[in-house]
Structure 1
Amino acid sequence: MPIKRIFQHLLFSDWQVHRAFKRESLDAITKAIHNSEHLHGGEIRLAIEGGLDGIRLLKGQSSRDRAIEVFSQLRVWDTEHNNGVLVYVLLADRAVEIVADRGIHIKAGDECWRSICQTMQDHFSRSEFETGALKGIAAIANVIGLHFSAHEKHENELPDAPVMLNFKN
Protein backbone atom coordinates (compact mmCIF):
# COMPACT_ATOMS: atom_id res chain seq x y z
CA MET A 1 0.00 0.00 0.00
CA PRO A 2 1.58 3.28 -1.08
CA ILE A 3 2.09 5.59 1.89
CA LYS A 4 1.12 8.59 -0.25
CA ARG A 5 -2.38 7.15 -0.76
CA ILE A 6 -2.80 6.49 2.96
CA PHE A 7 -1.99 10.10 3.84
CA GLN A 8 -4.10 11.40 0.97
CA HIS A 9 -7.14 9.57 2.32
CA LEU A 10 -6.62 10.09 6.03
CA LEU A 11 -6.04 13.82 5.56
CA PHE A 12 -9.00 14.32 3.22
CA SER A 13 -11.45 16.44 5.21
CA ASP A 14 -15.19 16.93 5.25
CA TRP A 15 -14.47 20.55 4.31
CA GLN A 16 -12.94 19.35 1.04
CA VAL A 17 -15.99 17.20 0.32
CA HIS A 18 -18.28 20.13 1.08
CA ARG A 19 -16.20 22.42 -1.15
CA ALA A 20 -16.45 19.95 -4.06
CA PHE A 21 -20.16 19.26 -3.59
CA LYS A 22 -21.88 22.29 -2.12
CA ARG A 23 -25.51 22.10 -0.96
CA GLU A 24 -26.67 23.78 -4.19
CA SER A 25 -24.81 21.18 -6.24
CA LEU A 26 -26.32 18.33 -4.25
CA ASP A 27 -29.77 19.83 -4.78
CA ALA A 28 -29.15 20.13 -8.54
CA ILE A 29 -27.94 16.52 -8.66
CA THR A 30 -30.99 15.31 -6.72
CA LYS A 31 -33.26 17.16 -9.14
CA ALA A 32 -31.40 15.76 -12.18
CA ILE A 33 -31.73 12.20 -10.89
CA HIS A 34 -35.40 12.71 -10.06
CA ASN A 35 -36.18 14.23 -13.47
CA SER A 36 -34.18 11.62 -15.37
CA GLU A 37 -36.12 8.80 -13.76
CA HIS A 38 -39.28 10.07 -15.45
CA LEU A 39 -37.56 9.41 -18.80
CA HIS A 40 -36.57 5.79 -18.18
CA GLY A 41 -37.53 2.79 -16.11
CA GLY A 42 -34.34 2.51 -14.04
CA GLU A 43 -32.88 3.87 -10.84
CA ILE A 44 -29.73 5.96 -10.35
CA ARG A 45 -27.88 6.47 -7.05
CA LEU A 46 -24.88 8.71 -6.44
CA ALA A 47 -22.59 8.04 -3.48
CA ILE A 48 -19.79 10.44 -2.56
CA GLU A 49 -16.94 9.59 -0.22
CA GLY A 50 -14.04 11.82 0.71
CA GLY A 51 -11.54 9.16 1.62
CA LEU A 52 -11.36 5.59 2.83
CA ASP A 53 -10.89 4.82 6.51
CA GLY A 54 -7.74 3.27 7.94
CA ILE A 55 -8.83 -0.37 7.84
CA ARG A 56 -9.91 -0.18 4.20
CA LEU A 57 -6.64 1.54 3.32
CA LEU A 58 -4.53 -1.03 5.15
CA LYS A 59 -6.36 -3.80 3.30
CA GLY A 60 -5.59 -1.99 0.04
CA GLN A 61 -9.24 -1.65 -0.94
CA SER A 62 -9.58 -0.21 -4.44
CA SER A 63 -12.20 2.32 -5.43
CA ARG A 64 -13.86 -0.43 -7.51
CA ASP A 65 -14.07 -2.82 -4.56
CA ARG A 66 -15.47 -0.06 -2.37
CA ALA A 67 -18.06 0.81 -5.05
CA ILE A 68 -19.24 -2.80 -5.12
CA GLU A 69 -19.50 -2.77 -1.33
CA VAL A 70 -21.53 0.46 -1.39
CA PHE A 71 -23.73 -0.92 -4.20
CA SER A 72 -24.71 -3.71 -1.84
CA GLN A 73 -25.04 -1.52 1.27
CA LEU A 74 -27.35 0.92 -0.50
CA ARG A 75 -29.34 -1.97 -1.99
CA VAL A 76 -29.03 -0.63 -5.53
CA TRP A 77 -29.40 -4.24 -6.68
CA ASP A 78 -32.85 -4.40 -5.12
CA THR A 79 -34.94 -2.97 -7.99
CA GLU A 80 -37.79 -4.76 -9.69
CA HIS A 81 -36.07 -5.01 -13.09
CA ASN A 82 -32.47 -5.27 -11.84
CA ASN A 83 -31.64 -1.96 -13.51
CA GLY A 84 -30.23 0.13 -10.69
CA VAL A 85 -27.00 2.02 -11.34
CA LEU A 86 -24.63 3.31 -8.68
CA VAL A 87 -22.19 6.13 -9.38
CA TYR A 88 -19.51 6.03 -6.69
CA VAL A 89 -17.16 8.99 -6.29
CA LEU A 90 -14.01 8.64 -4.18
CA LEU A 91 -12.68 12.17 -3.99
CA ALA A 92 -9.29 11.42 -2.42
CA ASP A 93 -8.42 9.29 -5.48
CA ARG A 94 -10.47 11.46 -7.90
CA ALA A 95 -12.00 8.14 -8.92
CA VAL A 96 -15.43 7.48 -10.36
CA GLU A 97 -16.84 3.97 -10.51
CA ILE A 98 -20.14 2.85 -11.95
CA VAL A 99 -21.68 -0.39 -10.75
CA ALA A 100 -24.75 -1.43 -12.69
CA ASP A 101 -27.13 -4.20 -11.77
CA ARG A 102 -27.23 -7.22 -14.06
CA GLY A 103 -30.41 -6.21 -15.90
CA ILE A 104 -28.86 -3.06 -17.35
CA HIS A 105 -25.20 -4.11 -17.31
CA ILE A 106 -25.79 -7.04 -19.65
CA LYS A 107 -27.32 -4.63 -22.17
CA ALA A 108 -24.86 -1.72 -21.82
CA GLY A 109 -21.52 -3.41 -21.09
CA ASP A 110 -18.28 -2.36 -19.45
CA GLU A 111 -17.08 0.05 -22.13
CA CYS A 112 -20.21 2.17 -21.84
CA TRP A 113 -19.71 2.64 -18.10
CA ARG A 114 -15.96 3.27 -18.47
CA SER A 115 -16.66 6.03 -20.97
CA ILE A 116 -19.11 7.76 -18.63
CA CYS A 117 -16.66 7.44 -15.72
CA GLN A 118 -13.92 8.98 -17.84
CA THR A 119 -16.11 11.95 -18.79
CA MET A 120 -16.91 12.55 -15.13
CA GLN A 121 -13.27 12.19 -14.07
CA ASP A 122 -12.21 14.67 -16.75
CA HIS A 123 -14.56 17.27 -15.27
CA PHE A 124 -13.56 16.41 -11.71
CA SER A 125 -9.87 16.88 -12.57
CA ARG A 126 -10.78 20.50 -13.42
CA SER A 127 -12.78 20.81 -10.17
CA GLU A 128 -16.03 20.87 -12.17
CA PHE A 129 -17.80 18.50 -9.80
CA GLU A 130 -21.39 19.55 -10.38
CA THR A 131 -20.96 19.62 -14.16
CA GLY A 132 -19.26 16.23 -14.17
CA ALA A 133 -21.96 14.67 -12.01
CA LEU A 134 -24.78 16.14 -14.10
CA LYS A 135 -23.19 14.99 -17.37
CA GLY A 136 -22.71 11.51 -15.91
CA ILE A 137 -26.31 11.32 -14.74
CA ALA A 138 -27.59 12.45 -18.15
CA ALA A 139 -25.43 9.86 -19.93
CA ILE A 140 -26.56 7.07 -17.60
CA ALA A 141 -30.20 8.11 -18.06
CA ASN A 142 -29.74 7.89 -21.83
CA VAL A 143 -28.27 4.39 -21.55
CA ILE A 144 -31.03 3.18 -19.25
CA GLY A 145 -33.66 4.79 -21.50
CA LEU A 146 -32.41 2.82 -24.50
CA HIS A 147 -33.16 -0.44 -22.73
CA PHE A 148 -35.82 0.35 -20.12
CA SER A 149 -38.44 2.82 -21.26
CA ALA A 150 -40.36 4.90 -18.77
CA HIS A 151 -43.47 3.29 -17.32
CA GLU A 152 -46.63 5.33 -17.08
CA LYS A 153 -46.58 4.95 -13.32
CA HIS A 154 -42.91 4.97 -12.27
CA GLU A 155 -42.39 3.99 -8.67
CA ASN A 156 -39.26 5.56 -7.23
CA GLU A 157 -37.52 2.53 -5.71
CA LEU A 158 -34.37 4.29 -4.45
CA PRO A 159 -33.78 7.75 -2.97
CA ASP A 160 -32.72 10.40 -5.50
CA ALA A 161 -30.54 12.46 -3.16
CA PRO A 162 -26.79 11.74 -3.23
CA VAL A 163 -25.54 9.89 -0.19
CA MET A 164 -22.49 11.27 1.56
CA LEU A 165 -20.46 8.41 3.03
CA ASN A 166 -18.38 8.84 6.20
CA PHE A 167 -19.38 12.50 6.24
CA LYS A 168 -19.39 13.94 9.73
CA ASN A 169 -21.14 17.30 9.17
Structure 2
Amino acid sequence: MTGAERKAVADAIGAAERRTSGEIRVHLEDHIDEEILEHAAFIFGELGMHRTRDRNGVLIYVCVADRKVAVIGDKGINDVVPAGFWNDVIARSVAHFAAGRPGQGLCDAVTMVGEKLVQFHPLKSDDRNELSNEVSIGGL
Protein backbone atom coordinates (compact mmCIF):
# COMPACT_ATOMS: atom_id res chain seq x y z
CA MET A 1 0.00 0.00 0.00
CA THR A 2 1.14 3.50 -0.75
CA GLY A 3 1.51 6.22 1.84
CA ALA A 4 -1.54 7.95 0.36
CA GLU A 5 -3.58 4.77 0.73
CA ARG A 6 -2.49 4.36 4.36
CA LYS A 7 -3.47 7.99 5.01
CA ALA A 8 -6.88 7.39 3.40
CA VAL A 9 -7.41 4.39 5.69
CA ALA A 10 -6.38 6.42 8.76
CA ASP A 11 -8.78 9.18 7.67
CA ALA A 12 -11.58 6.60 7.27
CA ILE A 13 -10.87 5.33 10.79
CA GLY A 14 -11.03 8.89 12.14
CA ALA A 15 -14.31 9.56 10.34
CA ALA A 16 -15.85 6.36 11.69
CA GLU A 17 -14.64 6.97 15.24
CA ARG A 18 -16.10 10.48 15.34
CA ARG A 19 -19.52 8.77 15.48
CA THR A 20 -18.83 5.91 17.92
CA SER A 21 -17.19 5.07 21.21
CA GLY A 22 -15.59 2.10 19.42
CA GLU A 23 -12.01 1.87 18.26
CA ILE A 24 -10.78 0.54 14.91
CA ARG A 25 -7.24 -0.46 13.99
CA VAL A 26 -5.79 -1.76 10.73
CA HIS A 27 -2.58 -3.78 10.85
CA LEU A 28 -0.53 -4.96 7.86
CA GLU A 29 2.08 -7.70 7.74
CA ASP A 30 3.84 -9.28 4.81
CA HIS A 31 3.72 -13.00 5.60
CA ILE A 32 3.03 -15.21 8.60
CA ASP A 33 3.61 -18.91 9.14
CA GLU A 34 0.78 -19.47 11.60
CA GLU A 35 -2.99 -19.52 11.27
CA ILE A 36 -4.28 -16.01 10.50
CA LEU A 37 -6.95 -15.76 13.22
CA GLU A 38 -4.51 -16.94 15.85
CA HIS A 39 -1.92 -14.38 14.77
CA ALA A 40 -4.52 -11.60 14.44
CA ALA A 41 -5.64 -12.31 18.02
CA PHE A 42 -2.01 -11.99 19.13
CA ILE A 43 -1.68 -8.63 17.31
CA PHE A 44 -4.99 -7.50 18.87
CA GLY A 45 -3.39 -7.97 22.28
CA GLU A 46 -0.07 -6.44 21.25
CA LEU A 47 -1.89 -3.28 20.10
CA GLY A 48 -3.70 -3.05 23.46
CA MET A 49 -7.09 -3.31 21.82
CA HIS A 50 -8.49 -5.34 24.72
CA ARG A 51 -7.96 -2.37 27.04
CA THR A 52 -10.63 -0.06 25.62
CA ARG A 53 -13.20 1.19 28.11
CA ASP A 54 -16.17 -0.54 26.50
CA ARG A 55 -14.29 -3.55 25.07
CA ASN A 56 -15.45 -2.47 21.60
CA GLY A 57 -12.25 -2.43 19.61
CA VAL A 58 -12.05 -4.02 16.16
CA LEU A 59 -8.86 -5.07 14.38
CA ILE A 60 -8.75 -5.49 10.62
CA TYR A 61 -5.63 -7.59 10.09
CA VAL A 62 -4.13 -8.04 6.61
CA CYS A 63 -1.43 -10.52 5.63
CA VAL A 64 -0.39 -8.74 2.43
CA ALA A 65 1.72 -11.35 0.61
CA ASP A 66 -0.77 -14.11 1.37
CA ARG A 67 -3.75 -11.88 0.54
CA LYS A 68 -5.56 -12.94 3.69
CA VAL A 69 -7.69 -10.83 5.99
CA ALA A 70 -8.99 -11.43 9.51
CA VAL A 71 -11.28 -9.28 11.61
CA ILE A 72 -11.18 -9.55 15.39
CA GLY A 73 -13.76 -7.77 17.54
CA ASP A 74 -13.56 -7.45 21.30
CA LYS A 75 -16.38 -8.75 23.49
CA GLY A 76 -18.41 -5.54 23.52
CA ILE A 77 -18.91 -5.56 19.74
CA ASN A 78 -18.38 -9.22 18.91
CA ASP A 79 -21.35 -10.24 21.08
CA VAL A 80 -23.78 -7.95 19.23
CA VAL A 81 -22.87 -8.01 15.53
CA PRO A 82 -24.89 -10.41 13.37
CA ALA A 83 -23.46 -13.84 12.64
CA GLY A 84 -21.31 -13.68 9.54
CA PHE A 85 -20.75 -9.93 9.68
CA TRP A 86 -16.97 -10.18 10.03
CA ASN A 87 -16.93 -12.53 7.02
CA ASP A 88 -18.87 -9.91 5.02
CA VAL A 89 -16.22 -7.32 5.91
CA ILE A 90 -13.48 -9.71 4.82
CA ALA A 91 -15.24 -10.55 1.54
CA ARG A 92 -15.64 -6.89 0.61
CA SER A 93 -11.99 -6.07 1.28
CA VAL A 94 -10.67 -9.17 -0.50
CA ALA A 95 -12.74 -8.34 -3.60
CA HIS A 96 -11.06 -4.93 -3.75
CA PHE A 97 -7.63 -6.49 -3.19
CA ALA A 98 -8.21 -8.87 -6.11
CA ALA A 99 -9.09 -5.88 -8.30
CA GLY A 100 -5.86 -4.07 -7.33
CA ARG A 101 -7.53 -1.59 -4.95
CA PRO A 102 -6.21 -2.47 -1.48
CA GLY A 103 -6.66 1.04 -0.09
CA GLN A 104 -10.29 1.16 -1.19
CA GLY A 105 -10.85 -2.32 0.21
CA LEU A 106 -9.59 -1.30 3.63
CA CYS A 107 -11.50 1.99 3.58
CA ASP A 108 -14.70 0.07 2.77
CA ALA A 109 -13.96 -2.44 5.54
CA VAL A 110 -13.41 0.39 8.03
CA THR A 111 -16.67 2.04 6.95
CA MET A 112 -18.61 -1.22 7.37
CA VAL A 113 -17.15 -1.79 10.83
CA GLY A 114 -17.77 1.85 11.75
CA GLU A 115 -21.45 1.60 10.82
CA LYS A 116 -21.91 -1.40 13.14
CA LEU A 117 -20.01 0.34 15.92
CA VAL A 118 -22.27 3.39 15.57
CA GLN A 119 -25.33 1.14 15.70
CA PHE A 120 -24.29 -0.70 18.86
CA HIS A 121 -21.84 1.74 20.49
CA PRO A 122 -22.77 5.33 19.60
CA LEU A 123 -20.49 8.19 20.56
CA LYS A 124 -20.58 9.11 24.25
CA SER A 125 -20.24 12.66 25.53
CA ASP A 126 -17.07 11.76 27.44
CA ASP A 127 -15.52 9.67 24.65
CA ARG A 128 -11.85 9.99 23.85
CA ASN A 129 -9.72 8.42 21.16
CA GLU A 130 -8.12 5.51 23.02
CA LEU A 131 -6.01 4.04 20.19
CA SER A 132 -4.07 5.41 17.25
CA ASN A 133 -5.88 5.71 13.92
CA GLU A 134 -2.67 5.11 11.95
CA VAL A 135 -2.23 1.88 10.04
CA SER A 136 0.27 -0.23 11.96
CA ILE A 137 2.81 -2.28 10.06
CA GLY A 138 4.80 -5.28 11.18
CA GLY A 139 7.17 -7.52 9.28
CA LEU A 140 6.88 -5.71 5.92
TM category (shorter chain) comes to over 0.9
Distance of 1:93 and 1:65 partners within structure 2? 15
Shift of 1:93: 1.6
Helix, strand or coil: the match of 2:52?
coil
Distance of 1:152 and 1:122 partners within structure 2? 37
Unaligned runs of 5+ in 1: 1-20
Q: Does 1:65 align with 2:38?
A: yes
Q: Does 1:48 align with 2:28?
A: yes
Give deviations 1:55-109, integer Å, cap 9, x for gaps.
xx2xxx1111111110111111110000000000001221110000001000014
Runs of 4+ in 1 over 4 A off after TM superposition: none
Shift of 1:154: 2.4
Flag the structure with more relative contact order, 1 or 2, with Cα contacts below 8 A and sequence separation at least 6.
2
Match among 86, 96, 100 for residue 73 of structure 2: 100
Q: Which residue of 2 aligns with 1:85?
A: 58
Shift of 1:32: 1.0
Superposition pairs for residues 104-119 of structure 1, below 5 Å?
104-119=77-92
Shift of 1:39: 0.9
Q: Which residue of 1 aligns with 2:9?
A: 29
Higher Rg of the two aligned structures: 1
**Identity of aligned pairs, percent?**
24
Distance of 1:146 and 1:84 partners within structure 2? 14
Shift of 1:124: 0.7
The worse-fitting range, judged by mean Cα deviation, of 127-136 and 146-155 is: 146-155
Q: TM-score, normalised by structure 2?
A: 0.96
Helix, strand or coil: the match of 2:49?
coil
Aligned residue type for 1:49: E
